[in-house]
């Protein structure tokens, strides 16, 4: 089995945190680019996929910033990896770069 970014104890903690605090769906919209233009895009996709698999209220959508320029412009994303977080219709939290280390705690 391949090791992911999240350890089992971290997954349990995050699962409990989400069960207590997530009242509605959360959309994670990630814009990525090719590996030669975005060093951390692949790892960011893997990390956010693991995170989204913890709770069904998290909905991850991954867009190629080159193929989905209209969506990127609409949401105000011009760098990769670029993450937009929101509820049903409002997207007001932006994160650029891989959310690792201390940044991961802020993401939660």
Residue 84, token pair as written in the block: 């937009």
pLDDT over 80 at 91, yes or no? no
Taking the domain 24-107, which CATH number applies? Answer: 3.40.30.10
pLDDT of res. 3: 60
Rounded to whole angstroms, the Cα distance separating 81 from 39 reads 9
**Mean pLDDT, to the nearest integer, of 49-61?**
96
Range from 12-16, 46-50, 60-64, 86-90 carrying the lowest mean pLDDT: 86-90
Q: Is the peptide bond before 40 cis (omega within 30 degrees of 0)?
A: no
Domain parsing of the chain, residue ranges: 24-107
Beta bridge partners of 63: 31
């Amino acid at each position: 089995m391949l090791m992911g970014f999240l350890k089992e104890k971290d997954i349990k903690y995050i699962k409990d945190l989400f069960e207590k605090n997530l009242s509605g769906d959360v959309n994670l919209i990630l814009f990525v680019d090719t590996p030669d233009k975005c060093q951390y895009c692949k790892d960011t996709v893997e990390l956010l996929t693991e995170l989204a698999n913890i709770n069904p209220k998290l909905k991850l959508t991954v867009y190629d910033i080159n193929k989905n320029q209209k969506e990127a412009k609409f949401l105000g994303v011009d760098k990769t990896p670029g993450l937009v977080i929101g509820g049903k219709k409002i997207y007001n939290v932006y994160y650029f770069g891989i959310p690792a280390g201390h940044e991961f705690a802020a993401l939660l």
